[in-house]
């Protein structure tokens, strides 16, 4: 919709770009210039009054009014009055005045009364980038249900929100929004956001578009793919057939088999090249080993800081760490990023840029093992296609339990019994060094005990430059690993059956879920102990009874709202005023359908 220059300037001052956003800039209060026959304390009201006396004090003026619509006297008080204010209060004159009414110990007063000439109206007051009278004129002149409908807002929702601007007595009498009004605001808010995301989505011609097949490869695997793995691979297959470079995010729970989706994608892209970037050498190594195992006829190569420089043109599948960004990269038809949130936006963009040719771009797949709320997936799908893998190839058998100091001797017995079975145990501490603020031991304080009482104890943390090597050594030779949350994502530890998380209440539920996901990776019986000094925690109790990462993500929302879930894709953390991720999935679904996004 074309805006006039004047309206465009005002929209800029308000920081908005549509009539929908103008409608969402709702009044914070109303000036009710109707006469009422009953005094309502703590509210602004209009009075029909005769001035009986005026008294001047050093910093104020006190006026005695006889209020005809109430039938009694009240006192008007002007603080630090300007000279012109005196003229509004001539003794004996009868006028209309407006101000804040208060009653204390039987005495009623009106602070800062002002004379008004227009009565009977309800005028909205705004807190925004424009003066309230300028904003009200803009709304009166420009805002209509026709313009909102033209922007895609359903008529009934447009009319419901417009009632807040063009208020009547019924709106004023409500102390809070009713369900109908609140749902209209939520719909309009999420519609505006998703439409804006949709507008930012850019389309480029794909370097390669091809009909792909993967079933022969899948049938030769020593296991069956899950139905969700297959539906995600089908999504990607459809992407590859389009002549537009696709952008898809694949979100899978810990152990949901995203690696097979990565390998299927590289297989489908043959004979064209694929590049995969992983955040750590360990992960890149694991993915390379899996590629050699399940794509034996594909020429794969591993690129890390320690790799010798080779001619990458000879390979069909290049797997590496961010070291690939510093190599001469051949063009690739498919670019994949594993654990995408662990790379900066610039690094991800650089990889895409390095493998593009002019205006043509590779297909782009990003993978994340941090499950996100389904509502968020729905919303993000306005700017990027999203596939969710919510099931795992085998059911994990993990007992989760909240424990306290009194449970320590039983915990020790359990650790000894697991180590006796040649299983491994991980203990996660909140800090590396002692803290006066935190009431839990740090790694440095606790390590002496574990090293004295157990053999083959390995220790690492985020600042440890050798952490990847320590994890590899532990995988092969260790019994007990003492660590911070550095192990949240990374190496596969097939013999790890127990994780103990110290000070568990300090961590987000998604992080706890990632740590729990380290155990029982190969079907062994697993245990997750959440050690806390808190007497009780409903948050931790709900966590131990929930196994799906996607349900955990929704629990996380319930307990901490949507603050830091969006990882920088939103302008600010919790940017929605009415829409609630935890409760409003149905509204997001309606908006998705209205915007013709894939459902």
Task: State the pLDDT at residue 260.
Answer: 95
For 283-290, what is the mean pLDDT? Answer: 92
Q: How far from 532 is each of 114, 173, 445, 481, CA to CA, in Å? A: 60, 48, 17, 20
C-alpha torsion 313→319→321→324, nearest 10 = 10
Angle at alpha carbon of residue 415, lines to 412 and 416, rounded to 5°:
85
For 284-294, what is the mean pLDDT? Answer: 94
Domain span(s) for CATH 2.40.50.140 in the chain: 34-116
Q: φ, ψ for residue 297 (rounded to 5)?
A: -95, 5
Q: How confident is the model at residue 341 (pLDDT cuts 50, 70, 90)?
A: low
pLDDT (tens digit, 9 = 90+) per residue, 64-78?
999 999 999 999 999
**Cβ–Cβ < 8 Å for 435, 563:** no
**Cβ–Cβ < 8 Å for 576, 583:** no
Strands 122-125 and 29-32: antiparallel
By residue count, the chain amounts to 599
Strands 317-320 and 274-277: parallel
Angle at alpha carbon of residue 328, lines to 323 and 334, rounded to 5°:
80
Task: State the pLDDT at residue 199.
Answer: 84
Task: State the pLDDT at residue 565.
Answer: 39
For 273-283, what is the mean pLDDT? Answer: 90
Which residue has better confidence, 584 or 162? 162
Strands 480-483 and 398-403: unpaired
Of the candidate ranges 115-119, 180-184, 246-250, 343-347, the one whose mean pLDDT is the lowest: 343-347
Backbone dihedral region of 92: left (phi > 0), alpha (psi from -120 to 50 degrees) or beta?
left
> Mean pLDDT, the chain, as a whole number?
87
Task: State the pLDDT at residue 121.
Answer: 87
Domain span(s) for CATH 3.40.50.300 in the chain: 205-389, 398-546
pLDDT (tens digit, 9 = 90+) per residue, 203-220?
889 999 999 999 999 999
The answer to whether residue 568 scores a pLDDT higher than 60 is no
The answer to whether residue 566 scores a pLDDT higher than 50 is no
**Cβ–Cβ < 8 Å for 239, 208:** no
Distance between CA atoms of residues 220 and 64, nearest Å: 95
DSSP state of 568: T
Range ranked top by mean pLDDT from 32-41, 199-208, 261-270, 551-560 = 261-270
Distance between CA atoms of residues 487 and 496, nearest Å: 12
pLDDT (tens digit, 9 = 90+) per residue, 365-413?
999 877 777 778 788 888 888 898 887 777 778 899 999 999 999 999 9
Task: State the pLDDT at residue 498.
Answer: 94
Task: State the pLDDT at residue 562.
Answer: 46
For 465-488, what is the mean pLDDT? Answer: 84
Q: How confident is the model at residue 491 (pLDDT cuts 50, 70, 90)?
A: low
Angle at alpha carbon of residue 339, lines to 334 and 341, rounded to 5°:
105
Structure tokens at 564: 């830091």
List, in order, residues 6 or more apart from 142 with CB less than 8 Å away.
7, 19, 22
For 296-310, what is the mean pLDDT? Answer: 91
Q: Does domain 34-116 have CATH number 1.10.10.10?
A: no
Q: Over pLDDT 70: what percentage of the chain? A: 94
The answer to whether residue 567 scores a pLDDT higher than 80 is no
List, in order, residues 6 or more apart from 234 with CB less than 8 Å away.
none
Distance between CA atoms of residues 79 and 98, nearest Å: 15
Distance between CA atoms of residues 402 and 187, nearest Å: 39
Q: Over pLDDT 90: what percentage of the chain? A: 50
Across 72-106, where does the E strand assignment appear?
A: 72-79, 94-104
DSSP notation for 268-334:
HHTTS-EEEE-SSHHHHHHHHHHHHHH-TTS-EEEE-TTSPP--GGG-SEEEESGGGGGS-PPP-SE
First CA to last CA across the chain, in angstroms? 27
Distance between CA atoms of residues 574 and 132, nearest Å: 26
Strands 107-116 and 72-79: parallel
Instruction: Quote the CATH superfamily of domain 398-546.
Output: P-loop containing nucleotide triphosphate hydrolases (3.40.50.300)
Range ranked top by mean pLDDT from 21-25, 103-107, 481-485 = 21-25
Distance between CA atoms of residues 543 and 552, nearest Å: 7
Q: What's the order of all strands across the beta sheet hosting 480-483?
A: 398-403, 526-531, 496-502, 424-428, 480-483, 457-459
Task: State the pLDDT at residue 248.
Answer: 92
Task: State the pLDDT at residue 376.
Answer: 81
**Cβ–Cβ < 8 Å for 396, 255:** yes
C-alpha torsion 286→291→296→299, nearest 10 = -110
pLDDT (tens digit, 9 = 90+) per residue, 170-208?
887 777 888 999 999 999 999 999 998 888 888 889 999
Task: State the pLDDT at residue 344.
Answer: 67
Q: How confident is the model at residue 436 (pLDDT cuts 50, 70, 90)?
A: low
Q: How confident is the model at residue 577 (pLDDT cuts 50, 70, 90)?
A: confident
Task: State the pLDDT at residue 514.
Answer: 84
Q: Where are the alpha helices (DSSP H) in 176-322?
A: 179-200, 215-219, 227-241, 258-269, 281-294
**Cβ–Cβ < 8 Å for 446, 435:** no
Angle at alpha carbon of residue 583, lines to 578 and 587, rounded to 5°:
70
CATH topology of domain 205-389: Rossmann fold (3.40.50)
Task: Count the neighbouring beta carbons within 10 Å of the beta carbon of residue 8.
Answer: 11
pLDDT (tens digit, 9 = 90+) per residue, 502-536?
999 888 888 888 888 888 877 788 999 999 988 88
Task: State the pLDDT at residue 573.
Answer: 40
Q: How far from 158 is each of 22, 161, 261, CA to CA, in Å? A: 12, 5, 43
Of the candidate ranges 77-86, 133-142, 573-582, the one whose mean pLDDT is the lowest: 573-582
């Amino acid at each position: 919709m074309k805006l006039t220059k004047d309206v465009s300037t005002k929209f800029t001052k308000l920081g908005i770009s549509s009539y929908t956003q103008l409608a969402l800039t709702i009044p914070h209060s109303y000036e009710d210039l109707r006469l009422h026959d009953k005094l309502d304390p703590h509210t602004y009201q209009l009075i029909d009054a005769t001035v009986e006396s005026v008294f001047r004090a050093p910093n104020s003026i006190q006026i005695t009014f006889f209020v005809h619509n109430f039938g009694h006297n009240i006192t008007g008080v002007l603080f630090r009055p300007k000279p012109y204010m005196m003229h509004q209060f001539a003794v004996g004159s009868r006028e209309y005045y407006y101000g804040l009414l208060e009653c204390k110990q039987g005495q009623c007063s009106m602070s800062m009364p002002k004379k008004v000439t227009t009565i009977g109206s309800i005028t909205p007051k705004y807190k925004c980038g424009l003066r309230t009278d300028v904003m009200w004129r803009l709304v009166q002149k420009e805002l209509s249900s026709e313009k909102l409908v033209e922007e895609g807002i359903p008529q009934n929702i447009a009319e419901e929100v417009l009632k807040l601007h063009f208020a009547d007595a019924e709106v004023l009498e409500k102390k809070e929004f009713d369900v109908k009004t609140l749902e209209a605001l939520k719909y309009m808010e999420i519609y505006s956001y998703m439409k804006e995301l949709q507008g930012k989505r850019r389309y480029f011609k794909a370097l390669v578009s091809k009909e792909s097949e993967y079933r022969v490869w899948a049938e030769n695997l020593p296991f069956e793919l899950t139905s969700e793995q297959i539906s995600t691979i089908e999504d990607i297959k459809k992407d590859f057939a389009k002549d537009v470079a696709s952008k898809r995010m694949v979100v899978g729970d810990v152990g949901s088999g995203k690696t097979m989706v990565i390998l299927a994608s590289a297989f489908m892209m043959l004979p064209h090249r694929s590049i995969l970037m992983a955040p750590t050498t360990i992960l890149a190594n694991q993915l390379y080993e899996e590629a050699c195992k399940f794509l034996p006829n594909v020429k794969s190569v591993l690129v890390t800081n320690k790799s010798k420089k080779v001619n990458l043109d000879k390979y069909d599948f290049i797997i590496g760490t961010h070291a690939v960004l510093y190599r001469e990269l051949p063009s690739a038809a498919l670019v994949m990023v594993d654990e995408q949130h662990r790379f900066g936006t610039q690094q991800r963009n650089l990889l895409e840029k390095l493998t593009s040719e002019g205006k043509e771009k590779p297909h782009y797949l990003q993978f994340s093992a941090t499950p996100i709320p389904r509502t968020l997936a729905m919303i993000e799908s306005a700017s990027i296609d999203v596939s969710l893998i919510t099931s795992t190839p085998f059911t994990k058998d993990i007992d989760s339990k909240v424990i306290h100091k009194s449970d320590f001797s039983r915990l020790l017995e359990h650790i000894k019994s697991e180590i006796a079975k040649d299983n491994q145990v991980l203990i996660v501490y909140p800090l590396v060094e002692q803290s006066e603020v935190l009431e839990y031991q740090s790694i440095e304080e606790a390590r002496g005990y574990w090293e004295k009482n157990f053999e083959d104890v390995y220790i690492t943390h985020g600042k440890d430059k050798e952490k990847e090597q320590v994890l590899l050594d532990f995988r092969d030779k260790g019994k007990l690993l003492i660590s911070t949350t550095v192990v949240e994502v990374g190496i596969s530890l097939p013999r790890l059956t127990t994780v103990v998380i110290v000070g568990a209440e300090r961590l987000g539920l998604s992080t706890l879920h990632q740590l729990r996901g380290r155990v029982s990776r190969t079907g062994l019986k697993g245990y997750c102990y959440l050690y806390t000094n808190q007497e009780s925690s409903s948050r931790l109790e709900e966590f131990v009874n929930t196994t799906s990462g996607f349900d955990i993500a929704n629990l996380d929302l319930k307990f901490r709202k949507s603050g830091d879930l969006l990882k920088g894709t939103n302008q600010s953390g919790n940017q929605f005023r009415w829409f609630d991720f935890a409760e409003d999935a149905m509204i997001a679904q309606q908006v998705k359908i209205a915007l013709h996004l894939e459902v």
